[in-house]
Amino acid sequence: MSKQTIETIEQFEELFNKHEQFLFVKNSLTCPISQAAFEEYQEFAEKHQNFPSYHLHVQESRPLSTYIAETFGIKHESPQALLFKGREVVWNASHWKITNEALEKEITQ
């Protein structure tokens, strides 16, 4: 279930029908800070395989990245982690604030 790549708005919208809550990470394929955050996310996802976790690569899914920012009123950043509950973003972090520990803390609150 975890670490699935989502590329389209339709795939993203399906997540709301599938899960009450899920983690979503935006990743840049060219930024070293993004790569470090993505490694933290991967570590988290490996430890929490039953928690729904998804990601996109901004360069490959720009329309979806823009859709998320506009729909949820959250400034686009990359890297960026978003925790959704229902159809709301209840937590988000970017850059060096995306750590395995921070992700674990947010899903257990």
Q: pTM (2 decimals)? A: 0.93
Separation of alpha carbons 67 and 101, rounded Å:
28
Taking CA atoms, 106 is separated from 5, 48, 61, in Å, by 21, 13, 25
What pLDDT does 2 receive? Answer: 55
What is the set of domains in the chain, with CATH numbers?
4-108 (3.40.30.10)
**Full pLDDT tens readout for the chain, 109 residues:** 457 999 999 999 999 999 999 999 999 999 999 999 999 999 999 999 999 999 999 999 999 999 999 999 999 999 999 999 999 999 999 999 999 999 999 998 8
